[in-house]
Amino acid sequence: MPLIPPLWRATRLGRRLIMAALLLPALASSQPAGDKTLLDMRTAFGRNQGSELTRLLPAVRGHVLEPLARYWEMRARLDTASPAEIRATLDAMAGTYWEDRLRNDWLLQLGRQRDWARFEAERPLFRMNDDRQITCYTVMLDAAGSRLPPEVAAERVRELWLVQRDSDDGCTTAAKALLASGHLKDAVVWQRARLMMEVNRGRAASEAVALIDPARAAQIEAIADQPAKYLDDKLTAIRSRTKELVTLALLRLAAQDANAAATELDSLKWRTQLSAEERGWAWGAIGRRAAQRLQDDALTYYARGDVQHMTDEHLAWMARAGLRTGRWDAVRDAIYAMSPAQRNETAWVYWRARAIEALKEPDATVARAQSRALLESIASPGSFHGMLALESLGLPITAPAAPEPLTADERRAAAQDAGLRRALAAMRLGLRSEGVREWNYQVALHTSGGMGDRELLAAAEIACREQIWDRCINTSLRTRDAVDQTQRFPTPYREQVIARAQEIGLDPAYVYGLIRQESRFVTDARSHVGASGLMQVMPATARWTANKIGLSNWRPQQITERDTNIQIGTAYLKFALDDFEGSMPLAAAAYNAGPSRARQWRNGPVLPGEIWAENIPFEETRDYVQRVLANTTQYAALLTGQPQSLRARLGQVGPRAPTAAAVNTDLP
């Protein structure tokens, strides 16, 4: 059967012709004469050449991207411009992303300068409301001005401060003010220091403690560097004043060597001096590190502490360790100890349902009913765990029905949207980063709650037509009730992808699922580590693969060519799939984190693929594998029109069978 029904092809062609006609006004309004000046301004902005920006600005008056040029010019001299000049520039860009971006920058500056009168005057006009520092400043001022109960303010600042990986002025200033007023407690400072120490942010931990105890703060970075030395230096009974630092040292040691930290914590000198809360947190950190290293004894560490004193991250890894060892009671206990917000995440609702059913408490009938209710609450083809819930309920995974077609008025409104037109103009000019930010603002932040479903579908259709596939996908994903799978899971470069996949024996849905996750079909995508193109291939991987498949006259710059990138990426994926005996989750993990890690992670018990994937130690790779397999299942449903199974693709994962021959052992 054809992969795309003829009627759908005709409908799509009709949509493309309609959109081309609707966008003619937008294309005609562009002013190429000012394009070069804009690109020159972009260069000047990157070099912080404020006077050059001011000189060039008049030449882009009336250009569709004039607001961007105004932003560059004022941002470069924000420190020296008068408030009247800044407000005049804001007024000249009224209603645009760049107005709100400049206001964001100015509010941060006003906060750092402690110009609270101007800050409070400007703050209500800030539409995006997505800057943590500005939120912290605002909460502090609202508490000081009796517009917010100080206890509520303290809790909000605590939440924002604890999730920061690095310090910033906004939340540090707010925390300092609420500590001084007594509404934020010293215990929160030590909580932040612990969280930072667990992720090796010794300086951030030190900066937090300095707010209440500069003397002890001075020791923290040294403790972070050599936790074992600090603990060894305290051979005599510790005094109360040092126990917080001992806890920090134990947390840092746990990140380096969980077993050594357990030995230290279990020793009498610390066991008798640390509080139950401090010991519980430390055992949670040790258990987490053991679980991340896939140690079979991880749960024994958790058992030594009280789960009520463990963080959500500790408890997530306790649940994963329970899954890996078949201890459903540990899975249950960990999930019930989580904060309500984490416990209600789709993943943990799914595993809570599975734990209830496995434990059959209080009896099989009640457990089955409770489990089913939880699964029904999350069952959806829109997420990895939602798909698993569908299959647990005995329901197939199918492509949702298409929404009602867009009307001419809906298409016209999207084509005439000023923010979307500016975003398109920027991306056509090669200002992709600026265009993407303007696009995201227009669909999500320009108005409270963002665009409605029909507006989002129309905006996504423009992005699809323009082959801006990442905006097509991400915009369509924002819809709540109207789901268009052809937007969410597009199939660009169809002829090349399907022909190549079939040529080397790959499932086209698997290739599409991986490309969608890697690059969102952006052909010139480049990661911070140097991976390039549609399939995000690393230079060394490309060189090895080109040699392996006999690609003659290979040149590194070829990896950015679309067809070559597909050829190299699919070949490497097939090599990985063969090396891992056809296991899609293992091959995806190898593609993301490298084959040596995937080989290491498969050692241990034979597990259902969904449990193995949940235990991948790297958060990025865990999310990647789950998304690639979910994408693959969605693409298969869309391409074939038939019900699909995610579990069948996940399969079972375990050590290589003794009889299985190793292939591609030099796979990089």
Peptide bond before residue 362 is cis, with ω within 30 degrees of 0: yes
Q: Strand 607-608 and strand 652-653: pairing?
A: antiparallel
DSSP 168: -
Q: Name residue 525's amino acid.
A: A
Distance CA 336, CA 342 (A): 10
Which residue is associated with the tokens 């693959």? 632
Is 277 tagged catalytic? no
The rounded Cα 621 to chain-centroid distance in angstroms is: 11
Q: Tokens at residue 306, please? A: 């009280």
Cα separation of 164 and 159, whole Å? 9
Smallest CA-to-CA distance from 358 within 334, 325, 332, 395 is with 332
Tokens 């020791």, located at residue = 219
Beta carbons within 10 angstroms of residue 538's beta carbon: 17
Nearest to 469 by CA among 496, 497, 489: 489
3-state secondary structure of 268: helix
Q: Which amino acid is at 202?
A: G
CA 171/CA 108 separation, integer angstroms:
12
Cα–Cα distances in Å, from 333 out to 329, 343, 607?
6, 11, 21
Determine contact, residues 575/664, Cβ cutoff 8 Å.
yes
Residue 391 CB contacts under 8 Å (≥ 6 apart), including other chains: 397, 645, 646, 647
The phi and psi torsions of 653 (rounded to 5 degrees) equal: -125, 130
Euclidean distance between the first and final Cα of the chain, in Å?
A: 38
Distance (Å, whole) CA 491 – CA 5: 14
Residue with tokens 């407690």: 185
Report the alpha-carbon distance of residue 602 to residue 608 in Å, rounded: 11
What's the rounded Cα separation, in Å, for the pair 637 and 506? Answer: 16
CA distance 649 to 655: 18
Backbone angle region of 129, left / alpha / beta, with phi > 0 → left and psi within -120 to 50 → alpha:
left
Q: Which of 518, 610, 614, 620 is catalytic?
A: 518
> Any residues with CB less than 8 A from the CB of 504 and at least 6 apart, and which?
570, 571, 574
Cα–Cα distance, 44 to 283 (Å, whole number): 53
- What is the Cα–Cα distance from 441 to 128, expressed in whole angstroms? 8
Cα 116 to Cα 84: distance, rounded to the nearest angstrom: 17
Q: Where are the beta strands (DSSP E) in 504-619?
A: 607-608
How far apart, in whole angstroms, are the C-alpha atoms of residue 24 and residue 31?
14
- Residue 236 gets which letter from DSSP? S
Catalytic site positions: 518
